[in-house]
Structure 1
Amino acid sequence: MTEELDLKLNTSAYLPLRDIVFNTLREAILRGELRPGERLMEAQLATKLGVSRTPIREAIRMLEQEGLAVTIPRKGAEVAKMTEKDMEDVLEIREALDELAAKIACKKMTESQLTHLKTIGKEFEISLETSDITTIAEKDVEFHDTIYEATENPKLVILLSNLREQMYRYRVEYIKKPENYPKLIKEHNAIVKGLEERDESLLTVAMQKHIKNQALAVKEVIRNQED
């Protein structure tokens, strides 16, 4: 593990210790401070964070559930590498569920929810000017969550939320590049237009284009990391 890595617990959060440790490690992975293939050694992490090995072990299990860590036999846990296959598997499911959610939301989204979606869209655009990757990602998530909630289907929302966690790492890689921002804004606006006009065909095309462009951009990131 990189000795210079500066990990600090957010002790002000009213969460169980394992969740605080998990959030700390998760952010370090997403920010690239803990890099793909880097060992997650319980003893060293416990020393750096000033906690016992138990919450470290529990946090690593949670990271594995998100696809951010993997345990290698006779080697231990390490930060999971991003692969095209993993991303394609996740996006394949997301595309199908997003399309379903969009069609349902097209019928059920209220004017109030549509107004809220537009507001979030504007907040997302403003966040792009801050260069704060965490805030940008949160606003992007909020944009899509607003659509999911409009389906009024809790089971579908849960499935999409679980999938969202697996996608988060790839989403962050995508939004790290400012050259993608104009395209993101255009795609969000197309999605809003499809919902506003209650046009399922227009909305489906917008959603598919949004996911396809993200996939192409992240594949480039993954290939560059492999070189």
Structure 2
Amino acid sequence: MIPEPTGSPRSDAFAKIDPKFQMTVRDHVHRTLRAAILAGRFATGQKVNERSLAEQFGVSTTPIKEALRQLETEGLVEALPRRGVIIRFDMGWAEEMILARAALESMIAHLAAKRIGKPAGAELTAIADLMAKATTSADADSLVSLNEQFHEHIHRSSRCGYLAKLIERQQFYDASIRRVIHMDPAERQKALEEHIAIAKAIVTGDADLAERQMRNHVVRSGETYLNIVFGSKKDIGRE
């Protein structure tokens, strides 16, 4: 499902929740709505219809309300008196999320370069090698999975539990948008070059270079995201 670049609402409904998810309905609804908001499927200022969402998910309005309260704490929606819940996420908010993630990821990369051991370094290099093969074969699905593995491995190698936890709220696009990004041959090649450079800096213990490479990578990929979701060509700044 490819997100529309203008941030306009989508007409397609959400799929009903499979019974196996019934024990975690609230979390499932929260994750699904969050991804939809970040993908631009709701317009800024749009009122959220709780009853319609409940029907689409095949649940009561209770988990919808709970999920919306959680999204409000993240600043993505806002409950207004006599107006209900509206979408607050916009391009400005997205830019801040990108910059916040860039700051966190770059510091994690810095510490990973100082703390990574030889076995973990070899594994990071191996992941980068697999990314090279997937790039050559234009395997977007594999690249999405390998990208997640790459960053998660750096998080583990840094041994930064607190920073890794903070970064969860700064994940500004989901697998569907990553897949769209990786369909572009030029983007695939650029991302590969950046990942290889980051891995090399971390494995060789160059903490300052790893920090700089990671920040530039996150910001540049964030700009690509802004272009897909908001149609923005804005440069939000890189070193």
Q: TM-score if structure 2 supplies the norm length?
A: 0.73
Structure 2 CA distance, aligned partners of 1:162 and 1:223? 20
Counterpart of 2:117?
Answer: 110
What is the percentage of aligned positions where both structures have the same residue? 26
Distance 2:19 2:31 in 1: 11
Determine the structure 1 residue equivalent to 2:4.
none
SS in 2 for 1:159: helix
Q: Determine the C-alpha separation between the residues in 1 that align with 2:214 and 2:198.
A: 7
Measured against aligned partners, the alpha-carbon deviations of 1:103-136 in whole angstroms (never above 9, x if no partner) come to: 211111112222332343345453883444xx65
Cα separation, 2, equivalents of 1:162 and 1:124 = 25
Q: Which residue of 2 aligns with 1:11?
A: 19
Aligned to 1:63: 71
Structure 1: tracts of 5 or more residues without a match: none
Q: 1:208 to 1:156 in 2, by over 3 A?
A: closer
Question: How far has the Cα of 1:141 moved from its partner?
Answer: 3.0
2:165 corresponds to 1:151 = no
1:45 and 2:41 correspond? no
Kindly indicate whether residue 28 of structure 2 is the aligned counterpart of residue 20 of structure 1: yes
Write the letter of the residue equivalent to 1:61: R
Query: Which whole-Å CA distance do the structure 2 matches of 1:210 and 1:176 have between them?
Result: 17
Range moving further from structure 2, 146-155 or 20-29: 20-29
Is contact 1:39–1:79 with CA below 8 Å preserved after alignment? yes
TM-score by length of 1: 0.77
| Deviation per residue, 1:159-212 (Å, 9 max, x gap) | 233333xx235x864652324211111100000110122122332331132123
CA contact (8 A) 1:106 1:199 kept: yes
Shift of the 35–131 alpha-carbon distance from structure 1 to 2, 3 Å rule, reads farther
Gaps of at least 5 residues in structure 2 are 1-8, 233-239
Letter in 1 for 2:188: Y
Q: Is the 8 A contact 2:106 2:212 kept in 1?
A: no
1:1-227 equivalence runs, <5 A: 4-13=12-21, 15-29=23-37, 34-37=41-44, 38-83=46-91, 85-124=92-131, 126=134, 129-132=138-141, 136-164=143-171, 167-168=172-173, 173=177, 176-177=180-181, 178=184, 179-221=186-228, 223-224=230-231
Deviates more, 1:73-82 or 1:123-132: 123-132
Count of matched residue positions in the alignment of Structure 1 and Structure 2? 219
SS of equivalent to 1:35: coil
